[in-house]
Amino acid sequence: MFGYNYPMGIQLTDSYGRKINYLRLSVTDRCNLRCQYCMPEQGVGHKEHHEILRYEELLRIARAAVAIGIEKVRITGGEPLVRAGIIPFLSQLAAIPGLHHLALTTNGLLLPELAVDLHLAGVQRLNISLDSLRPDRFALITRGGDVNMALEGIGAAFGAGFPPPKINMVVMRGINDDELFDFAALTISHGVTVRFIEYMPAIADDHWPDRTVAGQELLDRLSTRYRLESVDKGVYAGPSRDFRIIGAPGTIGIITAISGHFCNECNRIRVTADGRMRGCLFNDETLDLRPILNRNDDHLLQETLKGMISRKPQQHGIEPGQRTVPHTHFTMSGIGG
């Protein structure tokens, strides 16, 4: 239908020589939680149905991206599992020739109902966000979520036959940083990968510089209890520094988005649910793909994606300790993390 050839092994590089092989595709800005670090309590207007790309359009973007060299797609949101019709969409996505890896990031709440279908649809790996193991604290961070539902979701991922999920924990000083050891212990007891993520200034939070915990501090604190060894990253791995508690089946990743920005290794592009392509999470340049999609010219779509990749900025401009939040209209739920 789209007349693409999918040549294997194309190297897509940006103007700084970085290999770009990873697309984060957001399918909705809606969510069944309202995490404090991701969305403000009030005032987030959700996009209307007609503003959100149709599945058919998301598939065209994914096909065009794979045709120019993208090998991995991650589906994100908002909460991707709240969008109706997500399973048939994922089956079609997984069937794109040349797409080697399909992953999805979720808060896990709907996994008890959907994990088996996600696995059958061809999703290869799940990242599940979980910021506390304590019910009261989980409810506070997510503004009302039930930790037991998230834990059941993790159980459902195992039950459906997925490899051990990656658990994403956003570490916030004074809020959940006393649970570092409990999360690290999950790599021993459950064989999961736990990724500790530096809290990023995604919403207007004056306390952000005090709350964010630098990756090196996380590592130093973990090392007071556990002996850690470095682990080599997989080919589609994100920009985490990976470690293993000696003898543990699972691994620990530290994502130092702020303190040690890994922009020189950045391999990703993002497309938001309303069709805006973004070269860098913390750079305001976006490109509205909808006019291109309306022209029904997939060669043009490919060239547009390439053009945006060539303009991908060298690095973001956020410094540790910076006290202002750079983007007032920025919500992580709108971009997809």
* 153 near ligand SF4, rule: CB under 6 A: no
Number of C-alpha atoms within 13 angstroms, CB side, residue 309?
A: 25
The residue (of 185 and 200) whose beta carbon lies closer to ligand SAM is 200
Residues 214/258, Cβ–Cβ less than 8 Å: yes
Angle formed by the axes of helices 298-310 and 55-68, to 10°? 60
**Which of 10, 19, 34, 83 touches ligand SF4 by CB under 6 A?**
34
Residue 130 C-beta: closest distance to ligand SAM, Å: 9
Neighbours of 19 (CB within 10 A): 14
φ/ψ of residue 334, rounded to 5 = -80, -25
The residue (of 107 and 272) whose beta carbon lies closer to ligand SAM is 107
Which two three-digit tokens encode residue 331? 């919500």
The residue (of 67 and 255) whose beta carbon lies closer to ligand SAM is 255
* 14 near ligand SAM, rule: CB under 6 A: no
* 240 near ligand SAM, rule: CB under 6 A: no
Residues 173/208, Cβ–Cβ less than 8 Å: no
CA dist list (Å): 205 to 8, 35, 282, 331: 44, 13, 16, 12
Residue 324 C-beta: closest distance to ligand SF4, Å: 22
Which two three-digit tokens encode residue 46? 């959700």
- Roughly how many angstroms between the first and final C-alpha of the chain, as a whole number? 32
Residues 267/299, Cβ–Cβ less than 8 Å: no
The residue (of 31 and 114) whose beta carbon lies closer to ligand SAM is 31
Contacts with ligand SF4, 216-245, as mask; x by CB under 6 A:
------------------------------
The residue (of 170 and 263) whose beta carbon lies closer to ligand SAM is 170
* 67 near ligand SF4, rule: CB under 6 A: no
* 129 near ligand SF4, rule: CB under 6 A: yes
* 76 near ligand SAM, rule: CB under 6 A: yes
Q: What region does 328 belong to: left with phi over 0, alpha with psi -120 to 50, or beta? A: alpha
Residues 193/253, Cβ–Cβ less than 8 Å: yes
* 108 near ligand SF4, rule: CB under 6 A: no
* 37 near ligand SAM, rule: CB under 6 A: yes
β-strands 252-255, 166-171 pairing: unpaired
Residue 35 C-beta: closest distance to ligand SF4, Å: 3
Distance CA 90, CA 81 (A): 11
Distance CA 176, CA 55 (A): 37
**Residue 34 contact, options ligand SF4, ligand SAM, none, Cβ 5-8 Å cut-off depending on partner type:** ligand SF4
**Which of 79, 242, 274, 298 touches ligand SF4 by CB under 6 A?**
79
* 202 near ligand SAM, rule: CB under 6 A: yes
Q: How many residues bind ligand SF4 (CB under 6 A)?
A: 13
Residue ranges binding ligand SAM (CB under 6 A): 31, 37-38, 76-77, 79, 105-107, 129, 168, 170, 197, 199-200, 202, 332-333, 336-337
